[in-house]
A = this chain, B = another copy of it.
Amino acid sequence: MPIDEPRPARPNAAPAPASQQGMRRQNLALVLGAVAAHGPMSRAEAAAVTGLTRAAVSSMVVELMRDGLLVELGPAPSGRVGRPGNALRPADTGPAGLGLEVGVDHLAACVVDLRGAIRAQGRVAAANRGRAAGPVLAELAALADGVVAEARGLGLRPVGAALAVPGLVDGAAGRVVHAPNLGWREQQLPRTLLGLELELENEANLGALAELWQGGAQDVVHVSAEAGIGAALVVGGRLFRGARGFAGELGHVPLHPDGPRCACGARGCLEQYAGERAVLAAAGIGTAGGDWIALLADLAADGEPRVLAALEQAGRALGTALAGAVNLVDPSAVVLGGAYAELGEWLLPGMCRELAERVRVREWPESALSVSGLGRRGPLLGAALVTIRRILDDPGAVLLPG
């Protein structure tokens, strides 16, 4: 079942009949969802947004407050006449989501509350290229354990986890199909971590979902680049996964068909021109460990000519490949996300120019290209939000039985 879709509350059970209890559960989701999406609001406003009666909203609110999903802020600031209602917002304690990330050069974990705010996080450098999955997951679990302990100290209780991986995944099977930059192929991962159910997703997809869930555009090619280059396609407000769930492999689109051999085995893939190694080599920097993105940004800000030229070339390569993607899938926006977002100042001009020059059969406004405000936090945040979305989609599933 796709990670961005509501799931049945009781897996493998027969679909619930359209009972009164089923309707109540749906209404709980309506009320909590409205409050989460549209900020602090009174019961009257929630009734207006959801179309439910005030009495029904009040009844749902009692239940949601009792179980700690909603809290009351005091009188809502309202310009309107009449008795001000108490403003409701999602709780900043109670059920929470754990986000996890295995990068090529790092591991990360964070806990997000019902409002979507990151409340605890940790990130460590880690040389994961070619490292076996077992020790990587063990180190990640240790990191996550500390982050979860910190979150518990704040009154948060993670109820699910999702893991961002830089590669193709089979989420239903809990398996990494191919992550070339990690060297993982057909790698089964554990289905739980720290006692929480663990979901698996491609990091570019999670970065795109984080943007989308925070109000981003509905038809997007979302580029996510750090060590590798991936993309997520968002179509009509949903992830587009392709026939087998492998859509978005922008890094392996041929850029110069006779170019150098890529790690994937093909020639002249985009990654050979805009990936980590290509950019560092063009910039005259050895493949140093550490935060090479921050290093490049520092050197570019200092006006280092080779670095500026390297980023210009990478931007043009990205723009050329994206022009092909735009001609093929016709998005309304292209977003540069992942760690490369932090290099946006230097990558964007070249990307912009190539897109303008190569998307000619239809209009392509310059404003259609932008940088994600989430940057490298996108995939990790998206992973944590998976659980938050599940709660918002069906709060009845986490409420204690009557």
Residues of A within 8 A of B (CB): 168, 177-178, 180, 218-219, 231, 233, 235, 240-250, 252-257, 262, 264-267, 269, 320-321, 323-325, 327-332, 354, 357-362
Contact = CB atoms under 8 A, between A and B. Distances in A.
A328 B250 CA distance: 6
Contacts of A250: 327-328
B360 A324 contact: no
Contacts of A245: 330
Given A178-B362, A358-B266, A362-B177, A330 B254 contact: no
28 contacts: A168-B361, A168-B362, A177-B362, A233-B328, A241-B330, A243-B331, A243-B332, A244-B330, A246-B330, A247-B330, A248-B328, A249-B327, A249-B330, A250-B328, A252-B327, A252-B361, A253-B324, A253-B328, A254-B321, A254-B358, A255-B257, A264-B360, A266-B359, A266-B360, A321-B324, A324-B324, A325-B328, A328-B329
Given A178-B361, A324-B253, A329 B329 contact: yes
B246 A219 contact: no
Nearest to A257: B320
A56 to B, nearest CB: 25
A205 to B, nearest CB: 12
B361 A249 contact: yes
A178 B180 CA distance: 40
A256 B257 CA distance: 7
Given A242-B331, A252-B360, A321-B324, 7 more contacts: A168-B362, A233-B328, A235-B240, A249-B327, A253-B327, A264-B360, A267-B357
A65 to B, nearest CB: 38
**Residue of A231, A248, A255, A358 with most chain B CB atoms under a 10 A cut-off:** A358
A20 B170 CA distance: 45
A328 B241 CA distance: 10
A246 B324 contact: no
A269 to B, nearest CB: 8
Contacts of A362: 168, 177-178, 244, 246, 249
A265 B324 CA distance: 14
A252 B358 contact: yes
Nearest to A269: B358
A256 B256 contact: yes
A328 B358 contact: no
A208 B328 CA distance: 15
A224 B231 CA distance: 26
